[in-house]
Amino acid sequence: MDSNELNSPGFDIPPEIKGQIAITSLDRIYNWGRSASVWPLMFGLACCAIEMICTAASRFDLARFGMEIMRPSPRQSDLMIVSGTVTKKMMPTIVRLYNQMPEPKYVLAMGACASGGGPFKEGYNVVSGVDRFIPVDVYVPGCPPTPQALLNGLMKVQEKIRGESIKNSRWYKKGSDLAEIPIPILGPDLIDPRKLDLIKNEAKLQEQA
Amino acid sequence: MTTPAAVQTLDLSTRFPDGATPDARPGYSGWLVDKSRLVEFATALRDEFGYDYLSSVTGVDYLPEGKMEVVYQVYRTTGGSGVMFKVQVPRQDPVEVPSLVSIYPGAEFQEREAWDLLGIKFSGHPDLRRILMWEGFSGFPLRKDWHEPYFEEEAKPYKNRWPDGKIVQAESNNPYADNIAYPPDFSPEAESFDPEKALYDALRKYQKNEIGLNTDHIIVNLGPQHPSTHGVFRVAVMLDGEEIVNLKPVMGYLHRNHEKIGERNTYLMNMPYTDRLDYLASMSNNFGYALAVEKLMGIAPTERADYIRVLMAEMTRISNHLFLIGTLLNDLGAYFTPMLYALEERELILDIFEAVAGSRMMCNYFRFGGVARDFPEGTFQKIKEIFFERLPGKIDEIDRFLSENEIIRSRGVGQGVLTAEDAIRYSVSGPMLRASGIPYDLRRAEPYSIYDRFEFDVCTRKNGDIYDRLMVRFDEIRQSIRIIQQAVKQIPPGPVTSVKPMYQVRVPAGEAYGRVEGPKGELGFYIVSNGKPTPWRYHVRAPSFINLTAFGPMCIGQKVADVVGILGSIDIVLGEVDR
Amino acid sequence: MNDMYGKGILKGLSVSLKRFFETYLDDLSWIGRRYNTDAGIAHRGSKDARGIFTVQYPEEKIPVPEEFRFIPFLVYNEGPNGEKNLLCTSCGICAKVCPPQCIWIVRSTDPATGRPIPDPAEFYIDADICMNCGLCAEYCPFDAIKMDHDYELAAFGRHIYNKAMLSKPTKYYESIRPENATRENAARAAKLAARTAPTKAD
């Protein structure tokens, strides 16, 4: 982003000092900084992870977007690229990782599997899209998305970051929607603690029938 | 062929006059062994007949006949064709078969998988736990009468897609609006779940060291989210200080039900799914699957298609090994530079895949009787440029860059040693077996396709340590380049498919086991057809899954820091380990 | 080893150094032409590639080959009044061959007779199931469904496409896959000729 983009409209700069100063809003400079240094979580699930590695390698070079520092620890990362099929066995770990990420945090669902289950959707160990458990910001279709398609998705994440405002962003509000997501349990099948009532009701219905 | 005439003349029926009979079902081959004689039969095969290498163990659920069958494939590491033998048991719980782990330790994980997915209990197995699903999961998914929550119909194509295809998401048919189902008497509060308990109990069964200080041991988990595990793989280790006393790999975090879905797909539909097994080497998965189905159908590809297949398979091998060199060096601590150098060359190979097959990774290029389409114009030029002019020099450069490096030598030489005997016992295959000094390469031992026409060396190394496993990959890349150079010179013109392209192929009833030398090792497909458009049983003998059997024994006694390097040198891809 | 300790490391570092200098040498020999030109991008993907390997998406894009496949689309011929005449006859082969079964087709029926007519009333593809395998395009007997080249589809929501979103003109198809289109047009013309030839003889 150059200085013209940073310069927020609405303030006239006297011609004699134009080119020497820039006026911007706090939102803009803050989001500019954030969007240019998104640190993804080094977190590969399946086939798409290989394309993610290729994106980070020399031909596509994530470093050009300020994203080269892939952190293996969720505590140090801003963006979770869910790259591949999300299985039930992996789901508790993914939710735990998401809970451990500091806010503001973003999730990019890379590929068909992470977006909606993908070709393996019908399988007994597959979660139909990671958005059933954690909120997803950007969906990138493809199986797998090519590195350029992933970069396109990452630019969408940046676009989203730039459109946010400190005033009304949910990260900075007091409120309940930032509560941790309850971690699913591996029982006879995957148990989502948020659906306990539904499960109990269904069991009752089955008993009656 | 799995059991040609030479094997049938084996004197097995005189050796076992009452325990073993040739499998006489039409389209089937091999031997039916009585359950009570199984251990004796296997011991004799190994010790008297020299079949020292157990390639594959899997189960088949013959629901209509009320039987379960366990199928074994054994080979000689000196080469040649193998023997298939089977045990049939009635399909009543508990389905029980004696375990062969004491004779072939390589059966350990495969028997666990058959227990996990089919509910076949192997009596005498040292550690019979679920392996792909978690402990506590209800049901045995690969049984034919078990249906998943999103179950629509027994076989594809589904009827509601056409002609009246109102879009219905699978979720909307499920009471929980999700891919879940619970057993009828389930109540979430009454029970508590601990899928980890069995694992930790198994981990505590280790050989106690009576000499020296008696110290407390600790359990450390690496993964499933760990940068060194190349995906979602978990290693639970029991440590005495820094030394490993016991190690259990935990997998299944990417178990996406390949086989269950494959038994609902038509034969052609499985082709793109095989791409996603070992996603670094999709063409060689295509190759193995195409060979197995072609064997059942009794067709052969055209001459030109054969050459194209070999070209593609060898290019895949090179790109896979390049990726391995990069990631293994990452694991050994050379953060990213070797990886970037290796990936650069891989990208150039992927460009060829993309131009020919349409996708960088998921090629879906092979068809029964040939390949999907001929090379587009300019491909041979590109192949010549890359594999004749560029790559040989670049491989030498990466070799010069890495192989004499003192740090790599000190982290690799003598670490994670797998002796030749152990390699065979644990059914290890591919570059790992050859790094231990066994010159066993399917392209030479039992040539498939047209590999008997090319000159190449079977690369072996002596010590079977991390360093040798790295170097054997360099050697193999060079041999693959040799094969590609010969194939490009010999390839004839002509059609690329021997049959009319059809989306529904007719496959006669019977069984086939097709195996190829994939970049990771022996990749086998065991297919049972009952004459319908979908396979009755579709099993993948995944080399990186079975190579992991040796992972625990290799690590015991080593330092915890070497686990990462040893795992890296096995070259696993989780899509194939977990399927 | 009898060699001096560290010789291997030095040897390796010399490779790094060589590649470091190559970056500048290649930039010099391609001065002004290396970036943002088609020739420059092609050079970085050729056998002579050395130095900086990066293609700077989005300013530069690696050209996609003709066979490249992403999400399928439906081809239509534009009628004289701008109407979209889909080549699709809703025969259902794509829905039958689709491995993950992500295609749903509603066949139209003639309101007067209730008989099916060869035109899809609706056509859905759930791109979040689609595995980009290309079998639908490969086995379509009417060349009506083809694989797209457009991969820049990232969005803030899920991707489920209907007929209107999937339809693209023949011209677009011919522009992304010129060789395939020429071959298919020729085959169709030959078929048509073969069909009309005997009737003339009668």
pLDDT the model gives residue B473 = 92
Whose CA is closest to A91, among B206, C107, B178? B178
Closest partner residue to C131 (CB to CB) among B160, B272, B501 is B272
Touching partners of A (3+ C-beta pairs < 8 Å): B, C
Residues C169 and C84 in one domain: yes
Q: Which residue of C has its CA nearest to A145?
A: C151
pLDDT one-digit tens code per residue, C60-119: 888 889 989 989 999 988 888 888 888 888 888 888 899 988 898 888 888 888 888 888
Residues C86 and C40 in one domain: no
Q: Do C152 and A117 touch (CB under 8 A)?
A: no
Q: Across the 579 residues of chain B, what is the mean pLDDT of every consecutive 10-residue run?
A: 46 77 86 88 88 91 90 88 89 88 91 91 90 88 88 85 80 82 78 81 75 78 80 88 88 90 91 90 91 90 92 93 90 85 91 91 90 89 91 91 88 89 91 91 88 90 90 92 92 89 86 90 91 91 91 89 89 88
C135 close to A (CB below 8 A): no
The rounded percent of chain A whose pLDDT value lies above 90 is 20
Whose CA is closest to B118, among B182, B35, B55, B60? B60
pLDDT the model gives residue A177 = 59
Q: What is the DSSP string of B545-568?
A: HHHGGGHHHHHTTSBTHHHHHHHH
The whole model's pTM is what?
0.91
Closest partner residue to B178 (CB to CB) among A57, A132, A143 is A132
Whose CA is closest to B521, among B247, B213, B278? B278
Touching partners of B (3+ C-beta pairs < 8 Å): A, C
Q: Which residues pair with B513 in a beta bridge?
A: B526
Q: Which residues of C touch A159 (CB under 8 A)?
A: none
Domain limits, CATH 1.10.645.10, in chain B: 258-578
Judging by beta carbons within 10 Å of its beta carbon (0-12, 13-18, 19+), is residue A192 exposed, middle or buried? buried
CATH, range B258-578: 1.10.645.10
Distance between CA C21 and CA B95 in Å, rounded?
67
Residues C57 and C79 in one domain: no
Phi, psi (rounded to 5 degrees) for B180: -140, 155
End-to-end alpha-carbon separation of chain B, Å? 25
Q: What is the DSSP string of A127-146?
A: -S-GGGTS--SEEE-SSSPP
Q: Which residues pair with B151 in a beta bridge?
A: none
Residues C53 and C82 in one domain: no
pLDDT the model gives residue B7 = 47
Q: Please report whether residue C201 resides in a domain.
A: no
End-to-end alpha-carbon separation of chain C, Å? 90
Q: Which residues of B touch A189 (CB under 8 A)?
A: 137-138, 149, 180-182
Phi, psi (rounded to 5 degrees) for B63: -60, -45
Residues C119 and C26 in one domain: no
- Rounded to the nearest angstrom, the minimum Cα separation between A92 and chain C is 22
Q: Are B236 and B199 in contact (CB under 8 A)?
A: yes
Q: What is the DSSP string of A3-44?
A: HHHHSPTT-PPPGGGBTTB----HHHHHHHHHHTT--BB--B
Kindly tell me the sign of the dihedral angle through the C-alpha atoms of B52, B57, B60, B66.
Answer: positive
Distance between CA A9 and CA A25 in Å, rounded?
9
- Rounded to the nearest angstrom, the minimum Cα separation between A194 and chain B is 11
Q: Which residues of C touch A155 (CB under 8 A)?
A: 58, 154
Q: Please report whether residue C202 resides in a domain.
A: no
Residues C42 and C113 in one domain: no
Q: From the candidates A86, A138, A139, which should be mutated to test the interface with C, based on the most C CB atoms within 10 A?
A: A139
Domain limits, CATH 3.30.460.80, in chain B: 5-123
Q: Do A112 and C130 touch (CB under 8 A)?
A: yes
Whose CA is closest to A119, among A141, A149, A136? A141
pLDDT the model gives residue A5 = 56
Q: Please report whether residue C7 resides in a domain.
A: yes
Q: Please report whether residue C3 resides in a domain.
A: yes
Q: Are B70 and B58 in contact (CB under 8 A)?
A: yes
Distance between CA B292 and CA B513 in Å, rounded?
6
pLDDT one-digit tens code per residue, A1-37: 445 555 555 667 777 877 777 777 788 888 888 888 8
A137 close to C (CB below 8 A): yes
Distance between CA B125 and CA B100 in Å, rounded?
8
Residues C18 and C50 in one domain: yes
- A with C: how many residue pairs have Cβ under 8 Å apart? 99
Q: Do B359 and C105 touch (CB under 8 A)?
A: no
Q: CA–CA distance from B317 to each of A111, B279, B573 (Å)?
A: 25, 12, 14
Q: Which residues of C touch A142 (CB under 8 A)?
A: 70-71, 132, 151, 153
Q: Which residues of B touch A186 (CB under 8 A)?
A: 134, 136-137, 193, 195
Whether the bond into B98 is cis, omega within 30 of 0: no
Q: Please report whether residue C163 resides in a domain.
A: yes
Indicate the DSSP class of residue B388.
I
Distance between CA B419 and CA B399 in Å, rounded?
25
Closest partner residue to A45 (CB to CB) among B183, B226, B232 is B232
For residues A173 and B339, the model is more confident at B339
Q: Do C47 and B364 touch (CB under 8 A)?
A: no
Distance between CA B71 and CA B78 in Å, rounded?
22
The set of residues, in sequence order, having a beta carbon less than 8 Å from that of B84 and lying 6+ positions away, is B2, B3, B29, B30, B31, B71, B72, B73, B513
End-to-end alpha-carbon separation of chain A, Å? 63
pLDDT the model gives residue B489 = 92
Whose CA is closest to B248, among B569, B555, B572? B555
Q: Which chain A residues in 77-136 lie under 8 Å from chain C, judged by CB atoms?
A: 112, 115-122, 129
Closest partner residue to C124 (CB to CB) among B165, B276, B341 is B165
Q: Are B564 and B228 in contact (CB under 8 A)?
A: yes
Buried-state track B475-509, b at ≥16 Cβ within 10 A, e below 16: bbbbbbbbbbbbbeeebeeeebbbbeeebebebee
Distance between CA C146 and CA B304 in Å, rounded?
27
Indicate the DSSP class of residue A126.
B
Judging by beta carbons within 10 Å of its beta carbon (0-12, 13-18, 19+), is residue B177 exposed, middle or buried? middle
Distance between CA A93 and CA A71 in Å, rounded?
16
- Rounded to the nearest angstrom, the minimum Cα separation between C202 and chain B is 31
Q: Do B343 and A53 touch (CB under 8 A)?
A: yes
Q: Are B466 and B565 in contact (CB under 8 A)?
A: yes
pLDDT the model gives residue B4 = 44
Q: Please report whether residue C95 resides in a domain.
A: yes
Residues C94 and C55 in one domain: no
Q: Which residue has the tokens 């064709």?
A: B81
Q: From the candidates C22, C89, C104, which should be mutated to test the interface with B, based on the most B CB atoms within 10 A?
A: C104
Distance between CA B573 and CA B518 in Å, rounded?
12
Q: Which residues pair with B85 in a beta bridge?
A: B31, B72
pLDDT the model gives residue A1 = 46
Residues C55 and C76 in one domain: no
The tokens describing A107, both together, are 């999730």
Q: Which residue of C has its CA nearest to B389?
A: C47
- Rounded to the nearest angstrom, the minimum Cα separation between A71 and chain B is 9
Q: What is the DSSP pairing of strand A185-186 with strand C145-147?
A: unpaired
Kind and range of the H or E run holding C164: helix C163-166
pLDDT the model gives residue B6 = 45
Residues C27 and C81 in one domain: no
Touching partners of C (3+ C-beta pairs < 8 Å): A, B
Q: What is the DSSP string of B452-504?
A: GGS-------SS-SHHHHHHHHHHHHHHHHHHHHHHHHHPPPS-SBSS---SS
Q: Do B136 and A186 touch (CB under 8 A)?
A: yes
Q: Are A108 and A101 in contact (CB under 8 A)?
A: no
pLDDT the model gives residue B3 = 42
The rounded percent of chain C whose pLDDT value lies above 90 is 10
Q: Do C96 and B161 touch (CB under 8 A)?
A: yes
C58 close to A (CB below 8 A): yes
For residue C1, what are the domain limits?
1-61
Q: Do C131 and A143 touch (CB under 8 A)?
A: yes
For residues C153 and A13, the model is more confident at C153
The tokens describing C12, both together, are 């390796």
Q: Are C154 and A152 in contact (CB under 8 A)?
A: yes
Q: From the candidates A48, A60, A113, A124, which should be mutated to test the interface with B, based on the most B CB atoms within 10 A?
A: A124
Q: Which residue of B has its CA nearest to A193?
A: B188
Q: Which residues pair with B87 in a beta bridge?
A: B33, B70
Q: Are C68 and C121 in contact (CB under 8 A)?
A: no
Residues C8 and C104 in one domain: no
Residues C49 and C78 in one domain: no
Angle value at C-alpha C58, between C53 and C63, nearest 5 degrees: 65
pLDDT band (50, 70, 90) for residue A150 = very high
Kind and range of the H or E run holding A80: strand A79-83
Largest interatomic CA distance in chain B? 76
The set of residues, in sequence order, having a beta carbon less than 8 Å from that of B539 and lying 6+ positions away, is B56, B58, B60, B259, B525, B526, B527
Q: Please report whether residue C66 resides in a domain.
A: no
The set of residues, in sequence order, having a beta carbon less than 8 Å from that of B399 and lying 6+ positions away, is B474
What residue type is assigned to position A195 of the chain? K
The domain made up of B5-123 has a fold known as Beta Polymerase; domain 2 (3.30.460)
How many domains, in total, are found in chain C?
Answer: 2
Q: Please report whether residue C67 resides in a domain.
A: no
Closest partner residue to C55 (CB to CB) among A59, A145, A160 is A59
Q: Is A106 helix (H, G, I), strand (E, B) or coil?
A: strand
What residue type is assigned to position A41 of the chain? L
Kindly tell me the sign of the dihedral angle through the C-alpha atoms of B331, B336, B340, B341.
Answer: negative
